[in-house]
Structure 1
């Protein structure tokens, strides 16, 4: 029976990483799986961070191999998320998140609608690294850091909104920056979960192997298939996650 659990968790990690790199919400699969294995919600939340770190580390390396990287800008954006990440993780070990998930589900439906609308001439993408950061953009990243530290589920969607809509990156570059930022902001949150003894290394490393494998190949597919493919994955992932968070589907 344990072998089946190990194999199932690896496969779930593989699928979740593909969803995470190309869209977001893969943790909506991995967290329930960890809870099913007997972990309490706080420990599942902390354990999931092992997989998220290795998944994004693998994806960053894969994007770099495909010649997609803007490390200076990625690091700058990541630094803005760190204060929020620490505060969010501290909050996560103390309170629940049921109401927050429902609010996020409603937001995700709104995001889906905007993704389905035809893009205007003003939404032309510019992928150079010389982006001027406005005060509102900095605030967005601070808030994203808090949410990422708090629960992680759906962090990819929030990063995509800011990187694509506010910063005007194409979806390939969005994903490239997204996995780097998600990697960066997860590390301090993960340390806090470790300090509070909310990490199960055994199940976490098994899940991480699946996530790391999925993250590597997801980045390659993202580059080869382009924006249209990524947009379809985003819409499907957002809809499924939103319905799940609201409680329409189990």
Structure 2
């Protein structure tokens, strides 16, 4: 039975890594999957972060190799998230399992809805207006709080904040995003470690699948592929949300 769990999580991790490259939102699969193999909400939440931490390390190294980095600014933005992220992680390990699953199911449904809103992408970089840049402080704290608590979909939030408030180029938005998530993931992972909410074998298995899926996704180029992935992901997420709500 333990081998079946490892095989399942490796498969889900592979799918999540692939989806992260093609469309984003892979954690919306991995966190429910960890719950379905028998982990409680807090343990699943912590274990998922093992894979995310390793994924973040490789993502930052990848940007560095391509010469895309602004470490000082990335660190400044990361520090804004730390208080919220730690508070969120502490909330996550103290909330009841039933409530965590209810909240997760609502978040999953919200992610599915957001996937089908049109997004406007612009390649040029503009200068942020001084009167709006102050908004980044409370926004980063809030996103950090959410990320520390549940993590699912947090990448979309960081990208929206960095793009719309700071008016950064989308390439640098993505670079800052992966750096910020890696930085706050370390103290939140420590919270789950100290409270005994990490399952290392399952987390490392998930991480291995993520790596394979990410490599596969990076080499997969089919016209219209992202749209197909979004529809498949939406159906999978809705099934998981319904299961978490006890509908079947």
Give the drift of 1:236: 5.5
**Residue by residue, what CA displacement relative to the aligned partner does 1:198-241 show, whole Å, maximum 9, x if unpaired?**
111111111122224445666x669xx8xx99986996698568
The number of aligned residues is 239
- Alignment match, 1:49: 49
- Alignment match, 1:189: 188
Give the drift of 1:20: 3.4
Give the drift of 1:34: 1.5
Q: SS where residue 183 of structure 1 aligns?
A: helix
Give the drift of 1:138: 1.6
- Looking at structure 1, the residues matched to 137 and 198 of structure 2 have their Cα atoms a distance apart, in angstroms, of 31
- Looking at structure 1, the residues matched to 239 and 161 of structure 2 have their Cα atoms a distance apart, in angstroms, of 23
CA contact (8 A) 2:108 2:238 kept: no
- Alignment match, 1:33: 33
CA contact (8 A) 2:124 2:169 kept: yes
CA contact (8 A) 2:159 2:173 kept: yes
CA contact (8 A) 2:88 2:144 kept: yes
Q: SS where residue 42 of structure 2 aligns?
A: helix
Q: SS where residue 198 of structure 2 aligns?
A: coil
Distance 1:196 1:75, change over 3 A: same
Residues 1:203 and 2:207 aligned together: no
Query: Normalized against structure 1, the TM-score is what?
Result: 0.77
Query: Normalized against structure 2, the TM-score is what?
Result: 0.78
- Alignment match, 1:161: 160
Distance 1:2 1:100, change over 3 A: closer
Unaligned regions of 5+ residues in structure 2, if any? none
- Alignment match, 1:171: 170
